[in-house]
Amino acid sequence: MSYSIGEIAKIMNVPASTLRYYDKMGLFPEVRRENGRRVFEDKDFKWLRVLNCMKNIKMPITKIKEYLDLAQQGDTTLRARYDLILAQKQAIEAEIANLEKCRKEFEYKEWYYETAIKAGTEAVVENITSTAPTLEIDQIPSNYKNKED
């Protein structure tokens, strides 16, 4: 089946202009053209999935292009491609760890406000919050059972 750039844009949830930019940067070397229009095929989805992941993790275009160039060179670049993907995976894992810390901070704040709202004042929870100058996340007290209490 064939797909227009507009259809691919909808599938990938990006503006068509972004895909045109990717094409200008050489990220669609296998996409054929008919009368000057890009025509994507089912076989292109393998690359589009990878590209979409790279885009979603905010991988720089230069790194995406580097990966694509290596892939086009074939088996002699397997190690280089593996190393590039491994480095990106490590960056993703670091970002996940950072997001997990943020999630814990927001869980604490959720508990804080639920408790204050239930009591009608922040005074019941203010003394629990650390006043020490630290970036460590405050902990929900261990005697707090769950939201339904």
75: which 2 tokens? 């088996």
> Can you give the pLDDT at residue 42?
92
Does pLDDT of 43 surpass 70? yes
DSSP of 99-112:
HHHHHHHHHHHHHH
> Can you give the pLDDT at residue 139?
81
> Can you give the pLDDT at residue 125?
85
Residues 115 and 121: their CA atoms lie apart, in Å, by: 9
> Can you give the pLDDT at residue 140?
82
**Beta strand pairing status for 2-3 and 37-41?**
antiparallel
> Can you give the pLDDT at residue 73?
96
Residues 138 and 131 sit within 8 Å (Cβ to Cβ):
no
Domains, the chain: 2-59 (1.10.1660.10)
51-100 confidence digits (pLDDT tens) = 999 988 889 999 999 999 999 999 999 999 999 999 999 999 999 999 99
**Higher per-residue pLDDT: 5 or 143:** 5
What is the chain's mean pLDDT, rounded? 89
> Can you give the pLDDT at residue 146?
53
For range 7-28, the mean pLDDT: 92
